[in-house]
Each structure stands twice: as structure tokens, then as C-alpha cells.
Amino acid sequence: MSAPPVSRTRSFSVVLAVELWERFGYYGMQGVLLLFLVHALHFPEINATLLMGAFAALTYAIPAAGGWLGDRVTGSRRAVIAGSLTLSFGYALLGLATFVPAMLYAGMGLVAVGNGLFKPNAANLVRRIYDGDDARIDAAFTLYYMAVNVGSMVSLLLTPWLAAHVGWFAPFATCSAGLLSGLASVLLGRRALEHVGSEPDFRPFPVTSVLFTCGGVLVSTALVGIILSSQSLAKAIVWLAGLSVLIGWTAIYLRSDRRARAGLRLVGLLVMETILFFIFYEQTSTSLILFAEHNVRQDFTIAGHTLFSLTAGQLQALNPFWIILASPILARVYARMAAAGRDFSIASKFVAGFGLVTLAFAIWWLSAAWSPEPMISPWVMFWAYGAQSTGELLISALGLAFIARYVDRRIGAFMSGAYFLSVGISMYLGSFVASMAALPAASSTADPAATLPVYADLFRMLTLVGAGGTILFALLLPLARKWDREFQQTGG
């Protein structure tokens, strides 16, 4: 008697579990890495900010290759397992950099490569689970985004505390252990995923492919470490990678039929909007964490009574907190609108999201510009993160959904990787924007009265750019709707 078929919900829950642990590790690392560079390894703030940008760019760029590997060589399921192992080793090496600083670039290289293997292929598994069900794809990716932010919030509260009370090794070791827990989740739930994956997952995995994959990981890690140690080389490589994806997208477009071209045009427009969004998002791990360290009080008070306290690193946890709060509300709104036959298009969601991101930076700008004292209330961070995070849900959470909806499944993992590469380029640009407010030397004793107007100027510029982007994307909505109709009318 054959086993009963595995439900979509069960398959989805396994991917969700491993993604939750992966985000626990990644955001836990990100929550302390900039402060680790500045305070433990004594990087000047401006150098640390630019290194964070190059690291983020490569971390998001490598998934283009990882997606191809999952599509053509390993299969998405195997790539997720390999990525989990690589990430675990990478976090362990970052912890060892506390004692042997030379380990820093090797650890960052392993994290970037591991993310490249994991990220596009985990997303591709979700896409395969809900393939052909557009109504559930948006809701699934929104809930997926919410659930993995549970891991992010816990780690962002935990790792800065560990760094302050135990030492710098402890947070990175905890992130490494988290990835091993994620790997255990996918191995224990392997039956729920045995029918899900890309074509190579359903073929034997020869020794030559194993050696090719392992060799590729080692070589890529060495190359990323070399690139990160040179700012000029990092800049050149990021732009070269962006050019290669543009060429690849163009080649795919020229070979595609009419239906596919309509979808690819719409994807191109939405990716450009995503690039602008992530310039703003990169401020979370760069200028906003330094702003919080220099100019934001730690105690949340009401009527003179302290409710709780958060350090500069822990304030980043407000981002996943708001995502968890807003995700089920948005998912229900999407479902009700779909049931009523009223489509809130992805392009429209992007415009609304940009409006909220602009509001967030307006709150930061006006609070810094109008504050009568150099140390502002942390409630400013609370409400501004609320607007930014809801905007993120309307943009970033649906980035993978529009790939799933408008791209041929045969190139799904590659296009997911190309999407992440575009994100990487924008985060690299975001680090340059953030460096405008970074101190030229490593210092935690800077005069708050001197740094506050610098941050006010930065946030004012971002507010104006955000407002301009919102207006532009609203004007482009008719064009996006036209391409969507063409895609649907030609069999999309």
C-alpha cells in the first residue's frame, strides 16, 4: 500500500523551519558584525560601513550562481543542505576572528557563499510547492517572510546581549549552532520534500558533481575573502556581476516568446524598484545602528517609568517585530481581496510600500532635526521601524513572489538568484550612502551634539529620494498593468 501524498502545508512547514534557523543565524551575525568590526577589531566607522556594504553585496550577488547550481547540478534540496553546512562553518570562523583576526575574511567568504547556495534554492522550493497557484503564492511568501522573522527577532535580541555579557565569540558560535539545527530540521523532514525540488534532485548525485560542488565552494570562498580585503576590487566585482546578470536577462528575453517577454518586462520594472528600496534597507545595518549608538537613548519610558531597554544592536529587532505583527494582517487583506475579485497588484503594493518607507525616514529626519537635545527617544526608532517594516513587507516580501508569478519555472532558481544579485548591488550603494554619516575613525565617544545634524542631513536626503521614487512608481502603474494584462492574455 503506497504512502498517502504529503500535503503542501507539511512540505511548506519543513522549508519554513530550515529558513527560520538560517535567518536566525544570518541576522544574529548581522546584528553584531558592524559593532564587532568597530569595537573588537578597531575598524574606522567609515571602513567598517563600506566593508559591510561589500559583504552584503556579495552575499546577495552569489545566489545568482547558487541558483544556477541548484537548477543544473545539485538540485535545490541538496543546495539547501550544502548551504546550511557552509554557513555554519562561516559563523564559526567569524567567532574565531575574535582571537585570530586573519579569520575574518575567510569567515565572511563562507557566509557569502553559503547564503548563495541556500537563499535562491530555499525560495525555489517554496515556489515549487505552490506552483500554479497564484492566489496562494502571495499569501505563502508573506507568511514565509513573517515566520522567518521570528528567528531574526530572537537572534537580534540575543546576539548583542551575548556580545555584551559573554564576549564576541559567543554570538557567532550561537549562529553556527542555529544553522546545524536548521540542517537537522530538513533532514528529519526529508520525506515531506521528496516530491519537491528541481530536476537534478530526482537524479543520482555522482561523485564528480560532489567534487565539483565542494571545489566550487572552496574556490569561491577564497575569492570572496580576497575581494572583501580590497574595497576597489569589491566595487569592480559587484558592478561586473551586475552587468553579467543584465546580459543574462537580455539573452533570456531575446530567446523568449511573447508571453514570457511580457512577464520579463514586468519583472525588470519591479527589480528596478527593488534596487531603490534596498538602498534604504541597507541603512538598518549601517547608518541606523550607528545613529542608535551615538544619538538614541536605550530606555523606553512612559510617564517617567522605564518599561525596558534595548542597546543599539538590539534595536534592529524592531524590524522583525513589526514584520511579525503586520504580516498576518496583510496576508488576510490579500486573501479577501482575491476572494472578492479585486486584485491589489504587486506593482501597486510596491508603490504603497515606498510611501511607508519614505514616512519612516521622514520620522527619523524630523526627530533628528527638531530634537532639543542630542540624545533622542528610542520611541522614534519604534514607530519609524513600524512604517519601514510594513513597507518592506509590501516590497521585499513579494520580490520572490513576482519571480514565482512571472518567470518560467525552468529558470526559476536562476532568476531568484539574479533578483538577489540586484539586491546586493543596491545594498552596496546603500553602504556608500550610509558612509556619508560615518565617522572617519573608530570611536564610541563621539560628541552626540556633533553627530546628530549629520544624521539629520542623511535622513533628509533619503526622505526626498523616497518621495520622488513613490511618485515615479505611481506614474508607472498603468504601464505595469498593461504588461500584466499582456502576460495573462497570452497564457500567463
Instruction: Please list the residues that pair with 302 across neighbouring strands.
Output: 305
Q: How far apart are CA 458 and CA 364, in angstroms?
A: 10
Number of Cβ within 10 Å of residue 1's Cβ equals: 3
Phi (first) and psi of residue 390, to 5 degrees: -65, -40
Q: How far apart are CA 452 and CA 283, in angstroms?
A: 16
**Cell digits of residue 41:** 577589531
> Given this model, what pLDDT does residue 240 score?
81
SS (H, E, C) 389-446: HHHHHHHHHHHHHHHHHHCCHHHHHHHHHHHHHHHHHHHHHHHHHHHCCCCCCCCCCC
Question: Which CATH code of 3.40.50.12500, 3.90.230.10, 1.20.1090.10, 1.20.1250.20 fits the domain covering 8-489?
Answer: 1.20.1250.20
**Cell digits of residue 401:** 513572489
What pLDDT band is residue 186 in, cutting at 50, 70 and 90?
A: confident
> Given this model, what pLDDT does residue 4 score?
45
- Please name the residues in contact with 94: beta carbons below 8 A apart, sequence gap of 6 or more: 29, 33, 36, 103, 104, 107, 108, 111, 172
In 24-137, the DSSP E strands lie at none
Q: How far apart are CA 64 and CA 120, in angstroms?
A: 8
Q: How far apart are CA 277 and CA 395, in angstroms?
A: 8
Per-domain residue ranges for the chain?
8-489
Q: How far is CA 390 from CA 154, 323, 352, 387, in A?
A: 19, 6, 10, 5
Q: Which amino acid is at 99?
A: F
Kindly report the length of the chain: 492
The number of CA neighbours under 13 Å toward the Cβ of 217 is 23
pLDDT at 134 over 60: no
Q: Is the separation of the CB atoms in 402 and 270 below 8 Å?
A: yes
Q: What is the pLDDT of residues 191-227, one digit of tens each?
A: 777 777 677 777 777 777 777 778 878 888 888 888 8
What pLDDT band is residue 404 in, cutting at 50, 70 and 90?
A: low
**Cell digits of residue 142:** 508573506
> Given this model, what pLDDT does residue 416 score?
67
Residue range 297-314: mean pLDDT, rounded? 90
> Given this model, what pLDDT does residue 1 score?
37
Number of Cβ within 10 Å of residue 489's Cβ equals: 11
Number of Cβ within 10 Å of residue 332's Cβ equals: 12
> Given this model, what pLDDT does residue 11 score?
78
> Given this model, what pLDDT does residue 94 score?
95
In Å, how far from its chain's centre is CA 5? Answer: 33
Q: How far apart are CA 403 and CA 281, in angstroms?
A: 20
Residue range 23-30: mean pLDDT, rounded? 91
Q: How far apart are CA 230 and CA 345, in angstroms?
A: 42
Number of Cβ within 10 Å of residue 181's Cβ equals: 16
Q: What is the pLDDT of residues 330-359, one digit of tens each?
A: 878 877 877 777 766 777 888 889 999 999
**Cell digits of residue 178:** 542555529
> Given this model, what pLDDT does residue 2 score?
41
Lowest mean pLDDT among 160-174, 221-235, 437-451: 437-451
Helices 231-255, 45-61: axis angle to 10 degrees equals: 30
Instruction: Please list the residues that pair with 299 across neighbouring strands.
Output: 309
CA dihedral 133→135→136→139, nearest 10 degrees, is: 150
Q: Is the separation of the CB atoms in 280 and 361 below 8 Å?
A: yes
DSSP-assigned letter for residue 195: T
pLDDT averaged over the chain?
83
Q: How far apart are CA 89 and CA 281, in angstroms?
A: 27
Q: What is the DSSP string of 242-270?
A: HHHHHHHHHHHHHHS-HHHHHHHHHHHHH
Instruction: Please list the residues that pair with 376 across neighbouring strands.
Output: 296
pLDDT at 299 over 60: yes
Q: How far apart are CA 299 and CA 51, in angstroms?
A: 30
